[in-house]
């Protein structure tokens, strides 16, 4: 089964933000803390988790696939 392009890019962007969040956290902990580091880490983490979850749901609930299945039933 092919991946719905929109869901792929949402999960991909979420993964990149998750990497950015972890990188910011590591830099803040082991190199040098910076202003609003906790807020920035948390913000990127929350957006990353949202994009990953929404992308996975969009893949499962692909609107085109649902329409195709309904058309085949009639």
Contacts of 21 (CB under 8 A, 6+ apart): 41, 44, 45, 48
Average pLDDT of the residues in 13-23: 98
Q: Is the pLDDT of residue 56 over 70?
A: yes
pTM greater than the 0.85 cutoff: no
Angle between helices 37-60 and 5-26 (to 10 degrees): 160
Query: pLDDT (tens digit, 9 = 90+) per residue, 22-40?
Result: 999 999 999 999 999 999 9
């Amino acid at each position: 089964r092919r991946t719905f392009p929109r869901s792929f890019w949402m999960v991909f962007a979420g993964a990149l933000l998750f990497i950015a969040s972890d990188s910011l956290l590591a830099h803040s902990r082991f190199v040098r803390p910076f202003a609003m580091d906790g807020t920035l880490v948390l913000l990127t983490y929350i957006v990353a988790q949202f994009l990953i979850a929404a992308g996975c749901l969009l893949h499962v609930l692909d609107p085109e696939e649902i329409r195709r299945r309904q058309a085949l039933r009639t």
